Amino acid sequence: MAIPIITAICPQYWNDYELLDCGDFEKLERFGQLILIRPEPQAVWPKILPESEWTKQHHIRFKGRSATFGEWVKKTKDVPDRWHITYANPNVNIKFRLALTSFKHVGIFPEQAVNWDYISSAIAEFKTPKPKILNLFAYTGGASLIAKAAGADITHVDSIKQVVSWASENQELSGLKDMRWVVEDALKFVQRELKRGNKYNGIILDPPAYGHGPKGEKWKLEDHIQTMMKDVVQLLDPDEHFLILNTYSLGFSPIIVQNLIKGAFPKVKNLAIGELYLAAKSGVNLPLGVFGRFKST
């Protein structure tokens, strides 16, 4: 039977985030009280709001010096470099420290909130007390914080020490503790866990299209994702589990993700595949990657 392709929109609980408009390779976003303009390669259509409205509304704009680096230009000197926002659904409440980085990122991917809700509800349904969750390519820890707040035991893996430290700050802000932090190449960590015989009730994979490990290991999604999936599914607890795979590569479709998951885990149940997107206040929708996720029940 064919698996339907679904779309996952940013949920109603994001009071501190809002996509206001997007187009002409940019997006206009509100994070808490600050409104930012950032590059967005997916926004190939024209802006809905006039440029004058973008100029009027924003507090900070990112100016790129290259395809990946740049600087932030503030309207006024009193705009902070760092600030906090909150995410809360009916099950959990977490906080993030945001910051202006030279990579155009601010420390969070708002579209992932739909997966956060999936994680918290899946953990709530588990019979296993304090289920073990593994978050790979975990960045500043949104999924890790959600899982911890929902009552899970978390292992958070990322190859960049600075973002793991950032995630630890978010843990403290959120009033959480005792998360396991691992600065390591994700594929190497998974292969070591296989040798140790460890199992997890939930696994979250959020791999970049390109990346580097702490010892210079090169990651390219197309080259390594098949091996990663084959190894990761062996870490799943056979009785009670969930898995989420997100991909941001422009060449990946939901069908590719479906084939990857089914190829690695032929006995998969309750598989959902689809496209993540944010709905802008102006009426346009912004696609931000594809996902596949499944759970045991």
Residues 159, 275, single domain; the answer is yes
3-class secondary structure, 282: coil
Domain with residue 262: its CATH number is 3.40.50.150
Q: For residue 3, tell me if it sits in a domain.
A: no
Residues 64, 194, single domain; the answer is no
Q: For residue 90, tell me if it sits in a domain.
A: no
CA distance 198 to 159: 20
Cβ neighbours of 122 (radius 10 Å)? 24
pLDDT tens across 177-192, in order?
Answer: 999 999 999 999 999 9
Q: For residue 102, tell me if it sits in a domain.
A: no
Domain with residue 39: its CATH number is 2.60.40.1180
Q: Please report the beta strands in the chain, taking only residues with DSSP state E, as ranges in sequence order.
A: 5-9, 17-23, 26-31, 34-39, 60-64, 70-74, 82-88, 93-99, 132-136, 153-158, 180-183, 202-205, 210-212, 218-220, 242-247, 272-279, 285-295
Q: Comparing C-alpha atoms, which of 187, 138, 147, 140 is closest to residue 167?
A: 140
Decide if 31 contacts 85 (C-beta within 8 A). Answer: yes
Residues 184, 279, single domain; the answer is yes
3-class secondary structure, 52: helix
Q: Comparing C-alpha atoms, which of 80, 143, 79, 134 is closest to residue 108?
A: 143
pLDDT for the residue 66: 67
What are residue 9's phi and psi, to 5 degrees?
-100, 155
Residues 124, 266, single domain; the answer is yes
Residues 34, 135, single domain; the answer is no
Q: For residue 198, tell me if it sits in a domain.
A: yes
Q: Please report the beta strands in 120-241, taking only residues with DSSP state E, as ranges in sequence order.
A: 132-136, 153-158, 180-183, 202-205, 210-212, 218-220
pLDDT for the residue 2: 64
Q: For residue 51, tell me if it sits in a domain.
A: yes
Residue 85 identity (one-letter amino acid): I
Decide if 195 contacts 207 (C-beta within 8 A). Answer: no
Residues 187, 41, single domain; the answer is no
Cβ neighbours of 95 (radius 10 Å)? 19
pLDDT tens across 119-137, in order?
Answer: 999 999 999 999 999 999 9
Residues 146, 225, single domain; the answer is yes
Q: For residue 96, tell me if it sits in a domain.
A: no
pLDDT tens across 134-162, in order?
Answer: 999 999 999 999 999 999 999 999 999 99
Decide if 144 contacts 157 (C-beta within 8 A). Answer: no
Q: Comparing C-alpha atoms, which of 173, 176, 239, 172 is closest to residue 202?
A: 239
pLDDT for the residue 209: 76
The C-alpha torsion from 163 through 15 and 280 to 63, rounded to 10°, is: -40
What range defines the domain where residue 37 resides? 10-82
Question: Number of folded domains in the chain?
Answer: 2
Residues 154, 68, single domain; the answer is no
Q: For residue 95, tell me if it sits in a domain.
A: no
Residues 204, 290, single domain; the answer is yes
Residues 141, 19, single domain; the answer is no
Given 31, 66, 82, the domain boundary residue is 82
Residues 73, 153, single domain; the answer is no
Give 82-138 as a 3 state SS string: EEEEEEECCCCEEEEEEECCCCCCCCCCHHHHHHHHHHHHHHHHCCCCCCEEEEECC
Q: For residue 255, tell me if it sits in a domain.
A: yes
Helices and strands in the chain, H and E counts: 7, 17
Decide if 291 contacts 252 (C-beta within 8 A). Answer: no
Low-confidence ranges of the chain (pLDDT < 50): none
In this structure, the strands spanning 202-205 and 242-247 are parallel
pLDDT for the residue 67: 61
Residues 71, 182, single domain; the answer is no
Q: Comparing C-alpha atoms, which of 234, 257, 8, 255 is closest to residue 116?
A: 8
Record the tokens describing residue 49, joined without a space.
């709001």
